[in-house]
Amino acid sequence: MNSVLILITVAAFFSTLIGGLFALYLKDKLHLILGFSAGAILAVAFFDLLPEALALTEKVYSAATVLSVVALGFAAYLILDRFILLHDHAGDEALHNHKANAGAGSLSLHSFLDGMGIGLAFQVSPAVGLIVAVAVLTHDFSDGINTVNFVLKHAGTRTQAFRWLLVDAFAPVLGVLSTIFFVLPGETLGLLLALFSGFFLYLGASDLIPESYHSHPKRWTTLMTLLGMGILYVVIRLASF
């Protein structure tokens, strides 16, 4: 692994960690952070993961097939969410704990795939690797925020949130390292990105946005959601040039 890739891997760790610490120490403004996170996670799905999935699979799978995988991801997370709600007969605390772990675990797995994306992009060329790395580093910050938010809003403790934050911060590092040992076909990675687009669309639209509105003025939370989408859109577009 060359020195540039090592630096990017370290930066991915700290970008995620700093984002999570930001959420931990601004808990009194959590509804605004949730609003921003909702916009960020939707922007990542619409402007980063989905276009990349279509580009990686265009020679093998049709756009309709890729979008079907997105829908599958959305439906799978919907079923997971409703299954927990309908069939978990433990107390409310245990229920919230399961939901917190499911959400944080999903974000950590996505961060692992982010790391894989960086490593595989560098296998193509250093230029492609740097473009992918810029986009990944940008939303690693929001990944850290989202991970902490999912735990805290489902009645998790700050200690539990910090533990998941560390998992999420190490995930892209492990993802980069994993690409040393194998080469994943682009079309397979594309389908995985499409699946996670569906996950993120559900998480943003059905979980984060409603939660950010709960008992808080809609004007500011709406503006924060739009701001999150706008900032991530601009950065991802700049990174693609």
pTM: 0.67
What is residue 174's predicted lDDT score, i.e. its pLDDT?
93
CA dihedral 54, 60, 63, 66 (to 10 degrees): -70
Element (H, E) at 80: helix 63-87
The angle at the Cα of 103, spanning 101 to 104, to the nearest 5 degrees, equals 65
The pLDDT of residue 90: 47
191 in Cβ contact with 53 (< 8 Å): yes
Cα separation, 119 vs 180, in Å, equals 8
* The pLDDT value given to residue 88: 46
**From CA 146, how far away is CA 38, in angstroms rounded?**
8
Cβ-Cβ contacts under 8 Å for 213 (sequence gap 6 or more): 221
Higher-confidence position of 4 and 27: 4
Do 133 and 8 meet the contact criterion of CB atoms below 8 Å apart? yes
Residues 210-227: tens digit of each pLDDT: 767 765 667 888 898 899
CA distances from 198 to 152, 180, 188, 202 (A): 23, 28, 16, 6
Residue 3 in tokens = 């020195």
pLDDT per position as a tens digit, 83-141: 654 444 445 555 556 667 777 887 788 788 778 878 877 876 777 677 777 767 766 77
Residue 45, pLDDT > 90, answer no
- Tell which wins on pLDDT, 177 or 132: 177
- Would you give the DSSP letter of residue 27? G
